[in-house]
A and B are shown apart, each in its own frame.
Chain A
């Protein structure tokens, strides 16, 4: 015992530090020991993961088959779909995994869910979606009606061309309806080719390309109602087009 005390005192440094060093050394050893036990054998062999994880994932049963397998039997549907706007959607996105169906098509039928929940994942109005992407407000667009009552998911173009622009551009229509421009028809400003109704992205409506268009109502000498705000087209706004600063669907905003 005396020898241990003698040895302990012979070690350099204050007593507290020596004890702390021992504790930290013990903790570090525990950490190394735990690491030896807990880190899987193949961890780090090919990257920051367990290499054998690939085998265990491979061993999982296959649920999804991929579109190429569906096409082998359902070529009629595939032909229809591949010419439609849904051509890039794989069958199993809506119908669910098809592996069981392939094994026993009679017992395991693949039916997509009815109702409006699935379609609105992509088609409910969301401001961050690209302009022109078909979006609806589920509360206003034929509420409670299942989507596939009117739209064939394999060729989802609306069965009849919408008469009002607001059917597709609902957000803009609603904004315009409460603005001073509510009385103007969309086509008053947007020259719209007929083709736009059938193929919206191939034939895009025009926007006013000069300042004189707005000046027809808002210019100083315009022949329009006295309550309409007037500006001097020569001095106001430099060479910018009016709609570069003023939002025409809600002109009061700026």
Chain B
């Protein structure tokens, strides 16, 4: 069973082989490292750029302007902030040109806490990304979805942002990617670069097949009828765990993996909330103008008379950074006990 880094690698290989993907680039993306999380190891079209985020995004825009597909990586989302106006321009280029120039580019970047990454390796970007009109934004919670979402991003003619939950890069999923060998060791021997000298190494790719996760389609990962919990990325797994734990206490929690942040699966959220009457969104980006607030607003506006309790959002604290000490990190981003408490509180609320 592939981990998420291997799944991303296989998606990039599939795309450069079958979708005419010509450039995968960013700092340390090419040989010998193949990405700080090894997600670009063995990719033929991968190359190293200077340490220059604006140069990386600008170049991706220019490549896309010619019609060529590319995947550009910003090594950590914490370093994407100095490209924000380029991201804005990438998102508005089609609109400003009245439909004449589309940019088929994908930006991928690791996001979120969970690896004790301190101030500059822990930040989230989903709330910021959701405000970039003209972009499609996704965040997987498992390797199979990472594979399917990344392929959808690369195929899409618009700018797409693939947010990689860095704490899940070594986490394995429960479902095989089509064509992936079932034996983890076999896969590792085929596509993981050896330690030490890699100059003569080439990946031996399995015969993987196309698998697409469409934009705007969520997935119900736990069925329930008391409360709807919407999440994505790393926190989706925490929500699943909490749902399982609370099931033993008699709570029936429905968990939705949103997968696609924009566009998003409103119909799935709507039908679930109509069933449960309760809504909670969980993510780790900071809480003020958080994307979950938009969902909560919409639930309130459109489903107000069907609600049994006030919608809530659990998100990262609105503090300038995520401190290194575990006490600081854990106090800054949502923890399982907070999710469990919120679920119990919401379920206990009587209209």
Q: Are A and B part of the same complex?
A: no
Residue ranges of B at the interface with A (Cβ–Cβ < 8 Å): none
